[in-house]
Amino acid sequence: MDEKIALAAEKIKTSKHLVVFTGAGISTESGIPDYRSQGGIWDKFKPIYFDEFMSSRTARINYWQQRLDMEKSLSVSKPNAGHLSIAKLHELGILKVLITQNIDGLHEASGIPLEKIIELHGNTRRVRCMRCKKLISWEKAKQLIDAGDKAPVCPCSGYFKPDTISFGQAMPVEETRKAVILSSKSDVFIVVGSTLLVQPAALMPEYAKNSGAFLIIINLSDTPYDKVCDVLIRGKAGNILERIVKQITP
């Protein structure tokens, strides 16, 4: 393990175009469950597809109930050692861009400016009208729910929905395009806490690898890229990233 950490640190330190790609696993140490691990969100809830949300009030009410349940952990969560270590890479001027599948906003809270973050699946701390596209804050949406509307509606009659990408919903075009370009340009690409099963987000390491990047995976369970990566570290993101960054910090 020490050798792998030293090699990863050396590659990161000398990289010219470092891309970090994170999934739900980086936030489990902040108390936010991932989807697929035992005890994860899919053990508790069934996913609601975008067309169900748009066509059924019952589905919308269920969706908002799931969002309220997530708020229990989200409202008390703080960036952990993993988020803070990536923020340190930004501070050191090494991080080119952070691509995340996460919707929890913890990377921004860790001190990485939004311009350096690509949120591929949106952010659940914002809420968007599905008709006029207006954004409102989570707090505003919560006020509407508390006032009795279990599936809040915009004054334009569009349905409000957390500003995240549901199953069956189109990916954000600009974010996806930027993520593909920047992944393809990377010389070192780190995956942290992702099963790499959700497409097209999970194709990013492939774009990086095909362009010759050094691929590092830090994850507790298997991914489809384990066999092709250059360094595979099975361990908790917070501890491993902290150890790597310690070796880089002057």
The b-or-e profile of 31-60 (16+ CB within 10 A means b, else e) is ebbbbbbeeebeeeeeebebebbeeeeebb
Q: Is 121 a catalytic residue?
A: yes
CB of 137 to ligand NAD, least distance (A): 17
135-137/122-129 β-pairing: antiparallel
Of 214-243, which residues contact ligand NAD (CB under 6 A)?
A: 219-221, 236-237
Q: Which residue's CB is nearer to ligand NAD, number 17 or number 236?
A: 236
Q: Cα torsion at 227, 185, 199, 62 (round to 10°)? A: 120
Q: Please list, in sequence order, all residues whose beta carbon lies within 8 angstroms of the beta carbon of residue 198, skipping any fewer than 6 positions away.
A: 23, 101
For ligand NAD, give the closer residue by CB, 9 or 41: 41
Contact flag: residue 172 with ligand NAD (CB under 6 A): no
Tell which one of 18, 29, 79, 118 touches ligand NAD (CB under 6 A): 29
Beta bridge partners of 117: 98
35 binds ligand NAD (CB under 6 A): yes
Measured from the CB of residue 155, what is the shortest distance to ligand NAD in angstroms? 29
Contact 67, 45 (CB under 8 A): no
Asked whether position 95 contacts ligand NAD by CB under 6 A, the answer is no
The helix (run of H) or strand (run of E) holding residue 21 is strand 18-22
Shortest spacing between CB 71 and ligand NAD, in angstroms: 13
175 is a contact residue toward ligand NAD (CB under 6 A): no
CB of 95 to ligand NAD, least distance (A): 19
Report, in Å, the least distance between residue 156 CB and ligand NAD.
27
DSSP string, 199-240: TTGGGHHHHHHHTTPEEEEE-SS--TTTTT-SEEE-S-HHHH
Residues of span 37-56 touching ligand NAD by CB under 6 A: 37, 40-41
Q: Which positions are annotated as active-site residues? A: 121
Binding region for ligand NAD (CB under 6 A): 23-25, 27-29, 32, 34-37, 40-41, 101-104, 121, 193-195, 197-198, 219-221, 236-237
